[in-house]
Amino acid sequence: MLRAMYSGYSGLKNSQTKLDVTGNNIANVNTHGFKKGRATFKDMLSQQIEGAAAPAATRGGTNPLQVGLGVQIGAIDTIHTQGSLQTTGRSLDLAISGEGFFMIGRGNGTTITDQKYTRSGSFSLDANGNVVNSDGDYLIKAIPDPANPLFSVLYIPITVPATASDFNIEKDGTITYKDENGETVEQGGLPLAKFANPEGLEKSGSNKYVATVNSGEPVYTWPGEDGAGTVVTGTLEMSNIDLSEEFTEMIVAQRGFQANSRVITTADEIVQEIASLKR
């Protein structure tokens, strides 16, 4: 009976975790660039009652006898599938069609610190003309180096002069605007970051990710190259959450919670019966 109680308790605890993940998905259904989570389970250590026996000359083999001791969380994955693109028509709203992440960070204009990555492309201008997100992080561009066919290691914020007009970022990452004379000015490009294992990225809040030892180091490339995807100006990527799927998962978690509650109740009733045998 005690084993059944503890198994039921582990089921209650982990069904709640699954419900927490599902609830967070539903809460972020309208969060731009949000990637849903998925909780999976695995069984815990089983108690060995009797080991397996090999076949002999006069008898067959027997299987091991084991009693499971409950369930535990196997993984909470971040599912990086493409979200749908919502058209806004705003030049500072950017989305990525394909893999890749925008690079954002802080710094003094020449040196970038606190580097992070995002799929949320809702940007605006600050008083100095820098392209920033809602937390004041710079959207980082790269300056092409004639000696390097890819791009220079020099990353600086995108800055739009007050006299500029028709600011635009092409699908290949080229950043252009027109100056006060109506001449088109090109000021570098917008690189995208790719990771060997994007599911290994750590969510740090505010639609941002940081690299971990299991995500691998970021590899920077121009949009449209090496499978990084292309930049779509005037759109925002919505979350990749399917509400019908999440409601189904919520019902599954709820029913699992109820079933494990019944296991604990039944085991308690059996213990109560045993305790009353003396009477």
pLDDT digits (tens, 9 = 90+) for 201-210: 999 999 999 9
Q: 203 with 255, same domain?
A: no
In a domain, 74, yes or no: yes
pLDDT surpassing 70 at residue 152: no
What is the pLDDT confidence band of residue 3, given thresholds at 50, 70 and 90? confident
Q: 251 with 233, same domain?
A: no
Domain tally, the chain: 2
In a domain, 131, yes or no: yes
pTM for the full predicted model? 0.86
Q: 28 with 141, same domain?
A: no
In a domain, 58, yes or no: no
15: domain range? Answer: 2-46+67-80+241-275
Q: 124 with 246, same domain?
A: no
Render pLDDT for 59-77 as a digit per residue (tens, 0 to 9).
999 899 989 899 999 999 9
Arithmetic mean of pLDDT, 103-132:
87
Q: 94 with 205, same domain?
A: yes
Q: Which of 46-50, 106-110, 121-125, 218-222 has the lowest mean pLDDT?
A: 106-110
In a domain, 51, yes or no: no
pLDDT of residue 221: 87
What is the pLDDT confidence band of residue 17, given thresholds at 50, 70 and 90? very high
Q: 71 with 109, same domain?
A: no
pLDDT of residue 144: 65
**Terminal CA-CA length for the chain:** 21
In a domain, 260, yes or no: yes
Q: For all residues of the chain together, what is the average pLDDT?
A: 89
In a domain, 152, yes or no: yes
Q: 104 with 213, same domain?
A: yes
Q: 28 with 165, same domain?
A: no
What is the pLDDT confidence band of residue 150, given thresholds at 50, 70 and 90? low
